[in-house]
Amino acid sequence: MTDFRRGVRIGVDVGKARVGVARCDPDGMLATPVETVPRDDAAVARVLAIAAEQDAVAIVVGLPLNLRGEDTPSTADARAFAAALRAADLPVHMIDERLTTVSAHSQLRSVGRNQKQSRGIVDQVAAVVLLQQAIDIEKRTGNPAGEPVPPQEQV
């Protein structure tokens, strides 16, 4: 096992109506759901507030690609959201989130929740899935998972 930089990471699943937020413990053992944030003008500020409340050392944002690994209509939106988060001077990485929502729905069905019952939490569960994937990769490789979002240039 490689060195793992200790600290809470925040996972973010960006959707058109809602943003799922998850966190992991400082040792990166387990990702857990935190909150479903309404997707409005205050969404970025709320996610950054959660990161501050949790003393996060990094944020991982899901990168929605199609099954061939190509951009989708949601890709630019997620990249813009991640760039807005990066303005807070906290490291942000984007990780391929293919099938995380499918996996989240499957997990919720396995505990007896239908899609309608899951609407309010499926984004959190998707954030948990992508964050757990990211911390597992980081623990295995010693490097943050995904592609880093560069800091915004000062104007």
Structure confidence by residue, pLDDT tens digits, 71-95: 888 899 999 999 999 988 899 999 9
For residue 137, being part of any structural domain is answered with yes
For residue 127, being part of any structural domain is answered with yes
Alpha helices in 1-155 (DSSP H): 43-53, 73-86, 100-110, 115-118, 122-141
91/124: higher pLDDT? 91
For residue 152, being part of any structural domain is answered with no
Lowest mean pLDDT among 36-40, 50-54, 64-68: 64-68
Q: What is the CATH number of the domain that holds 14?
A: 3.30.420.140
3-state helix, strand, coil in the chain (%, to 5): 40, 25, 40
The band of 11, judged by pLDDT with boundaries at 50, 70 and 90, is very high
For residue 1, being part of any structural domain is answered with no
For residue 3, being part of any structural domain is answered with no
Percent of the chain past pLDDT 90, that is, above it, reads: 57
Report d(CA 119, CA 32) in Å as an integer.
Answer: 17
**Is it the case that residue 115 has pLDDT exceeding 60?**
no
> What pLDDT is stored for residue 5 in this prediction?
83
Distances (CA, A) of 31 to 76, 90, 136: 26, 19, 10
Structure confidence by residue, pLDDT tens digits, 130-140: 999 899 989 99
> What pLDDT is stored for residue 108 in this prediction?
56
For residue 23, being part of any structural domain is answered with yes
The band of 154, judged by pLDDT with boundaries at 50, 70 and 90, is very low
Q: Could you tell me the residue range of the domain that residue 102 belongs to?
A: 9-145
> What pLDDT is stored for residue 130 in this prediction?
92
Contact yes or no for 94/79 (Cβ under 8 A) = yes
Average pLDDT score over residue span 17-32: 94
> What pLDDT is stored for residue 55 in this prediction?
96
**Count: domains in the chain:** 1
pTM value? 0.86
